């Protein structure tokens, strides 16, 4: 049960690795939301920019500062 969380904690080191890492990490990150399509869209966008995805399905954004700091024009969080 802890395996998916450990996988998500791993940071990717280059955009080359993003293609394989981001979809799987985001699939787990968005697994419990009822808004899967927008969650996946923004998670993949954030993963490509930040090269990481926070662990778990919610919170833990301190593990990936880029996820925590990237905001919308209105000041809300851009990354799930």
The Cα 74–Cα 40 span in angstroms is 21
So what's the pLDDT on residue 21? 83
Token pair for residue 43?
Answer: 């998670």
Condensed to tens digits (0 to 9), the pLDDT of residues 13-71 reads 444 445 678 999 999 999 999 999 999 999 999 999 988 999 999 999 999 888 889 99
Pair of tokens at residue 25: 């990490």
Q: How far is it, in rounded angstroms, from Cα 14 to Cα 11?
A: 9
Residue 68 CA to its chain's centroid (Å): 10
Q: Which residues contact 33 (CB under 8 A, 6 or more apart)?
A: 39, 57, 80
What sign results for the dihedral spanned by CA atoms 70, 25, 44, 58? negative
């Amino acid at each position: 049960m802890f395996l998916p969380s450990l996988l998500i904690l791993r940071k990717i080191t280059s955009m080359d690795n993003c293609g394989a890492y981001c979809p799987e990490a985001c699939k787990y990150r968005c697994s419990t939301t009822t808004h899967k399509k927008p969650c996946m869209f923004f998670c993949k966008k954030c993963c490509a920019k930040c090269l990481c995805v926070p662990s778990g399905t919610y919170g833990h954004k301190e593990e990936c500062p880029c996820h925590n700091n990237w905001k919308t024009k209105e000041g809300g969080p851009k990354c799930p």
